[in-house]
Amino acid sequence: LRLLYSGRVFGISPVLEDSTKALCLIQLTVFMASLNMATNDVIVDALPYIDTGYDEPGVREAAIAMVEDEKKRYRPTKNYLEHLPPLNVSAFETDIMRTEFERLSSRQPMDTLSMKRYELPPPPPGKMTDVAAWSECVDNSFAQLEHQATRLLNLELLNENGAEAWKCHNEELQRMLSRTQGQLTELKKAIQEVNWSRKSQQCKAGEELRHLESTWVSLVSRNYDIEQACVNLQQQIDRYNDIAAERPQQA
């Protein structure tokens, strides 16, 4: 792939232009992707630190044209996802969510917050002499008083300890922030080390590829020179054979 990308096909020594080289790389990438899809293998053949030619004029347009051509030749069926399992749109729904979705689909208004629990109504007019009705009202009054007493207790606790509790909460948030920032710093450092390692490996591989490419070009050129010399020698041999064949006739 690297030899083809460099624009040198076997037996041809001239180097193609950078834009043509980039187009060759794009076509080879598409070809390799199709092979990978067929074999379910993942082969990464990208060296962005040493590969060039992507920004050359006409390369982007050529890539877009290839995509558009593929889109024209792609004819999806009526249900091209039939090989996949059916989508379960209610996988994460709860009963409350399902009820709320049904309310929204039927365009029903949302129920308002009921304040009846906080009211102290007397018994209905028809039960003014009913002991059970009055007992229920008294129990409700006791519950309301206990609720108010609990609220007062919470307010007293907040007034006494709220400031310190808030300071402790802020300190905990600050510690969480410091830990998160430390993790972020370590992650950025790890990413930078990966990038440096990748660049170092690719530059080292690039030097080896350039050396191999230069060796390949030298060997191909030498083979071409040897082949040309063989052709010249064969022509000389044929010419000498013709001369040798003519001499007996002259004699």
Report the 10 Å Cβ neighbour count for 2.
Answer: 19
Contact criterion met (CB below 8 Å) for 91 and 100 = no
For residue 84, give Cα distances in angstroms to 12, 41, 53, 79, 80. 48, 21, 39, 10, 9
The tally of CA atoms less than 13 A away on the side-chain side of residue 190 is 6
For residue 122 the two structure tokens come to: 């007397």
**pLDDT for the residue 84:** 86
Q: Rounded to 5 degrees, what angle do the CA atoms 172, 173, 174 make?
A: 90
pLDDT in tens, the chain (251 residues): 444 444 433 333 333 444 555 555 555 555 555 555 555 555 666 778 887 777 788 888 888 999 898 888 877 677 777 888 888 888 888 999 999 999 999 999 988 888 887 888 888 888 888 899 999 999 999 999 999 999 999 999 999 999 999 999 999 999 999 999 999 999 999 999 999 998 998 889 889 988 999 999 999 999 999 999 999 999 999 999 888 888 776 65
What residue type is assigned to position 75 of the chain? R
**pLDDT for the residue 8:** 39
CA distance 27 to 65: 12
Task: Tell me 107's DSSP state.
Answer: T
Spatial CB neighbours of 35, under 8 Å, sequence gap ≥ 6 = 41, 43
